[in-house]
Amino acid sequence: MPDYDDLRRTIRSLTQGEDDSVALMATVACEVHHSDDRFDWTGFYRVTAPQLLKIGPYQGGHGCLVIPFSRGVCGAAAREGKVQLVPDVEAFDGHIACASSTRSELVLPVFGRGGVLLGVFDIDSNQPDAFTRTDADELALMLAEVFAAVVAA
C-alpha cells in the first residue's frame, strides 16, 4: 500500500498553483501509478460531452478511447458520482474489458470547482480484490485537494 501521506505531499508540491486539468491529471496518474505494484493501469477519463467520457492522461497499456456514462465501471462512477470499488470485474454487470488482464478496479469521480464532474480516475489491477476502502478514501481526499480549484472547460 502506498504511503498516502507522502504521496499527497509529493503531488501537492508538484501541482501547487497549477489549475490546468490535463496537467494535473498527467501528474497525478504518473505519481499514483508508480506508488504501488498493484496498479497496472492508472489514468483519467474526462467528461468531454454530456454523458460521455474520453481517455485522458494515463500510465500503463492502452485504454478504451470512449466510455459512455451508461457502460462499465467508469461509466457507473461518472453516472452515480460515487466511488466504484470492484473486487472482481467479471462479476460487475456491464464491465468493459479494455485490457483482458484486469481482475479488479477502483474508479473515483473527479470533481472540480462548484462540484462539477471533470471525469473519473481509474485504477486497474491484474490481482483480484486488489483495492481496499482505505485506498478509495485516501485517493478521494487527494483528488478533492488537487482538483478543487479546477474550472470545467
For residue 153, what pLDDT is reported? 64
- What are the domain boundaries of the chain? 4-147
pLDDT tens-place string over residues 7-41: 999 999 999 999 999 999 999 999 999 999 999 99
CATH topology of domain 4-147: Beta-Lactamase (3.30.450)
Is the separation of the CB atoms in 123 and 131 below 8 Å?
A: yes
Percent of the chain clearing pLDDT 70 (strictly above): 97
Rounded CA separation 33/41 (Å): 7
Mean pLDDT taken over the chain: 93
Radius of gyration over every alpha carbon of the chain, rounded to an integer in angstroms: 14
Could you tell me the pTM of the whole model? 0.94
